[in-house]
A and B are shown apart, each in its own frame.
Chain A
Amino acid sequence: MSARTAELGPSPHAGASVAPSSGRPGGRGYGRQARYYGFVAPALLLMLSVIVFPWLFTLWMSVQDWQIGQRHSFVGLANFAKILTDERFRDAVVHTVYFTVLAVALPVVFGTAAAVVFNEKFPLRGFLRGIFIMPMMATPVAVALVWTMMFHPQLGVLNYLLSLVGIPPQLWVYDQSTVIPSLVLVEVWHWTPLVMLIVLGGLAALPAEPYESARIDGASAWQMFRYITLPLVLPFIMVAVIIRTIDALKAFDTIFVITQGGPGTASETINLFLYQQAFSFFNIGYASAVVVVFFAIIVALSLVLLVVWQKTRWT
């Protein structure tokens, strides 16, 4: 997940700087760039050889009626038609959207705030920053198991902490209405550091001049943040949004370990639904059709976000 960080990370400012370099010796536009394709070939071939077969296999399975242990038969697009009328799938889409919106927005807000703090110099900064980014490196399965214990409605430490400040016990992941926000809490804990790192990269690159002149004009700290910092790091924040969106859509480990999509189906996202169909019901054909649709959704959404990102980058 997270690692497209740097990738998209540094590039926001790079757009302008690379353009002029094409007048150098030996180079004539397209041909000069094309000779670098050889560098890309090994990675590309390797990736394709790993993913092309699964893709083709998935496409083939998606037009089969196939349950493990039974014979499979060609059914055309019937699986896709079934998706359209499947209430469980529709619910899963709703849960996914709900989860994704929260699991993108909150880490982005908190991560940006944390980046602003860590951009300052203060004692023990490095150490504390190291502590802060630990959650992102922690093994999701292991951490999810610990969160499960913390969420326990009767014996969990979270309810105890709430009781200390006079808040009545919550049911957390043990109730349909609070399960998704509770899972988002884990997600926020896990991935806010990633957003922080990306935005921190942006803050480090900020020019000093606008601040100097703003200060001379008597701007407040908030005004400087709002009118100088925010617009300048916006491309970085958008990168974080894109990465978080893809990751939140695909979130699996945490939900699987903590709720398995429950209570009932209240936290069954598309990915969990997919897992259920493929590995619990063994409806391989149908599950493959869901994969195809799910993949299309992620690609479409990523493209939209990429376009938005391009816009923030060039204005």
Chain B
Amino acid sequence: MNPDTRHPTPDTPLFDLLRGSLDHCVKCTICETACPVSNVTPLFPGPKYAGPQAERYRDPAAPSVEWSVDYCSGCGICTQVCPQGVKIAELNAHARRRVKARKGVPLRDKIVGRPTLLGRLGTPAAPLANASLRLRPIRVLAEKVLGVHRDAPVPKFAGRTFRSWAKKHKSPATGRRVVYFHGCGTQYYEPDVGEKVVAVLEHNGFEVDVPLKQDCCGLPLQSNGLFDDARAYVLRLARVLAPHARNGAIIVGNATSCTLMLKREAREILELEDDPDLKLVSEKTYDICELLLELHDRGELNTDFRPLEESVAYHAPCQQQGHWIGKPALDLLALVPGLQVHEMDARCCGIAGTYGLKAEKYDIAMKVGEDLFQQVADSGAAVVACDSETCRWQIEHGTHKPSAHPIELLHRAYGL
């Protein structure tokens, strides 16, 4: 068996990527040691049970007989640590979808699965929306009616969108084009992060294109079991980005969950292996730290950083780990003189996208994050650097310390 059978291409004979991968499981328990959820709650029996083991019992033609796999948060750490190449998290995603197909997808999941919808509704009325979401009675009502936990960390609408800024911004024409996929978080909640990303890229000689028709990558829909809707979104996004990729541009993003969706999850979980646009986009997508570190490796990164005499804790989100490229942010932050970086050794902050927002899962999410929150406190760091916005919101909620994307620190160190 040559390695290519683990990574099938359209040329390899009919091989079911996910179900076929269950054959690689030798029950070694390594995934169970790493699962952040099963280690804190009995409601999820663990990745080995829910993934390759239960898969042998599943009948695609019959309704799902399960419920516990719904407590898998989809963090993907199991797949990452599995030494045998079992697509555990991906198998779980499929099983979860079938559970929801049988039980019905709650209205809440349809709503939190659509950050674009929420964003469009909340942005024009941002001050009111933000204030309401911080009113206890409203949160209690939302928990009772919708099932969003009253204490769950919901972000603040920025009141403006990133693209409204991008529309008016013109990157200096350098000929070195890069396409910016900013994601919903940047668009509705953190447009300032997006501006900093653009500034850092321009500082390194890139001409940044922001396709204005881009929209959600569909990840929240996928993780809530709404596969058909997720497919529609991600393919729409692929159609917008692909022409740029065909012209030789690379696609860069700062939301590590969303770039992972484009790189891998959409192809594997939504079974879109055959779409040429998505395939091209996935090959050309980079995380911003990944890109900058590669530049540095080639000696092309601008390293005129001013000293930052600060202490920062760095947490790599589980879906950044899912890129399987290590922690490029660590190496980048190490270039900033004076900056004391404490690498956190925790697997997951708990939020796992929309998981930790849910009334029935919030407590689990907070227990999952406990270890990280404690490590942050023990480190004495003033700020927590983290690549994913939902994780930053969870970390701020759990540590009461500010959290920033690593790019924001670089931006400050550049003096931009």
A binds B: no
